[in-house]
Amino acid sequence: MTEAQRRRGVGVAGAAIGAVAAGVALERLTVHRAVRRRARLALDATGPYGTLRGVAGTAVADDGTELHYEVEEPGHPDAPAADGGSGTRTRRKSGSRRTSRSQTLTVVFSHGYCLTQDSWHFQREALRELGTVRAVYWDQRSHGRSERGRSQQVGAVGDVPVSIDRLGRDLMAVLDAAVPEGPVLLVGHSMGGMTMMALAAQYPDWVAERAVGAGFVGTSAGGLGEVTYGLPAVGISVMRKVVPGVLKALASHSALVERGRAATADLLAGWVKHYSFGEPRTVDPAVARFAERLIESTPIDVVAEFYPAFHAHEKGEALAAFNDGHALVIAGEKDLLTPKAHSEAIAAALPGASLEIVPDTGHLLMLERPELLNERLRELIAEVRRP
């Protein structure tokens, strides 16, 4: 690529990003900044999201990183949950693996990039109301209440980059600590689904013996380097080269960046809505603010640290480990981060999977369409229990 071509590519990519940013800015001009700030504070004060807690535990990863998890036993006090929904749904013949009705099923939830276990708030409510399953929620390393990855810290021996394989081993540590026995249903959103695939790639025997089902929510088995994020294809390759460097530069000045986040809160809110939801204007403002809070709580150096791992993620072959169990694959039709084609590819690799593409829905499906996902999870739980 010549220098002139590179500059043209950067210009096109910049213009595309600028168009999105301009739209966000125009939307923000209609309401005074002070009013928006007061609204955010009010939503933070009144929204119940992210307040559900279970019995806390700590798993230790193979590099010594302490991973926070929470357990909720069957019969936990009820929380409200709804059901229903619509979408494009394809059901295939189910797998052959079953679990005894006398055994307690444990559902283990793995969250996505720049989120925490609290992103499963609505699903947590629904399983509390169901009252018949044991549930485990955990925070990925460097996210939420888990410790910063020890092998990624500056000065650590080897200063090892984060990889999806590493996250798969982390999940194994959580499973060993929190679910030493009994059937397990694994559920993962985005990076959490990739973590499940990495678990299967490294521990196929465990998956064969213990995993009776899997729920893949808005995730990918690979090819993320080809995602355009809704931007024009021209210049996107240049963007892919530029973004890691920009994130690295921001991470090197993380203290300054974190102090400046308050000043850019409006822009962040617009970007969160654009890339999280398929129909941002229809999302409850309190839910949108909750998503914003989850993302803004992730330090910029953690954002930079994890980003390269996604381009290296290729786990299509690992999906075969889930073939003997029941599987749900569900994604938003308007997901710009892990487009629906990625979920369709996962379902194609799992002959027993139920595939659903949800109209007018973005990446944070569990927050945008909680009633629908809750209902699908209840159905999946019923399937894995059926003799």
Looking at per-residue confidence, does 42 or 351 come out higher? 351
144-163 pLDDT, tens digit per residue, is 999 999 988 765 545 678 99
Confidence bin at 247 (pLDDT 50/70/90): confident
Smallest CA-to-CA distance from 271 within 280, 260, 258, 282 is with: 280
Least confident of 152-166, 183-197, 334-348: 152-166
- Tell me what pLDDT residue 6 has: 42
Separation of alpha carbons 344 and 324, rounded Å:
19
- Tell me what pLDDT residue 259 has: 62
61-99 pLDDT, tens digit per residue, is 999 999 999 999 998 654 333 333 334 444 443 344 444
Cβ neighbors of 341 (< 8 A, separation 6 or more) are none
Strand-pair partners of 222: 314
Q: Characterise 159 by phi-psi region: left (phi > 0), alpha (psi -120 to 50), beta (else).
A: left
Separation of alpha carbons 353 and 325, rounded Å:
9
Least confident of 209-223, 270-284, 360-374: 270-284
- Tell me what pLDDT residue 172 has: 99
Separation of alpha carbons 321 and 335, rounded Å:
26
Strand 66-72 versus strand 55-60 pairing type? antiparallel
Inform me whether the pLDDT recorded for 328 exceeds 90: yes
- Structural domain harbouring 243: 3-385
Looking at per-residue confidence, does 254 or 329 come out higher? 329
Least confident of 3-17, 172-186, 257-271: 3-17
Smallest CA-to-CA distance from 367 within 302, 265, 292 is with: 292
Region 9-28: mean pLDDT is 41
SS (H, E, C) the chain: CCHHHHHHHHHHHHHHHHHHHHHHHHHHHCCCHHHHHHHHHHHHHHCCCCCCCCEEEEEECCCCCEEEEEEECCCCCCCCCCCCCCCEEEECCCCCCCCCCCCCCEEEEECCCCCCHHHHHHHHHHHHHHCCCEEEEECCCCCCCCCCCHHHCCCCCCCCCCCHHHHHHHHHHHHHHHCCCCCEEEEEECHHHHHHHHHHHHCHHHHHHHEEEEEEECCCCECHHHCCCCCCCCCHHHHHHHHHHHHHHHHHCHHHHHHHHHHHHHHHHHHHHHHHCCCHHHCCHHHHHHHHHHHHCCCHHHHHHHHHHHHHCECCHHHHHHCCCEEEEEEECCCCCCCHHHHHHHHHHCCCEEEEEECCCCCCHHHHCHHHHHHHHHHHHHHHHCC
Separation of alpha carbons 232 and 74, rounded Å:
48
Strand-pair partners of 140: none
Separation of alpha carbons 13 and 15, rounded Å:
5
Confidence bin at 36 (pLDDT 50/70/90): very low
- Tell me what pLDDT residue 96 has: 41
Region 34-41: mean pLDDT is 47
Mean pLDDT score of the chain, rounded to an integer? Answer: 83
Residue listed under structure tokens 């381009």: 311
Number of domains in the chain: 1
- The CATH number linked to 217 is 3.40.50.1820
- Tell me what pLDDT residue 75 has: 84
Separation of alpha carbons 198 and 84, rounded Å:
32
Separation of alpha carbons 260 and 238, rounded Å:
27
Separation of alpha carbons 255 and 258, rounded Å:
5
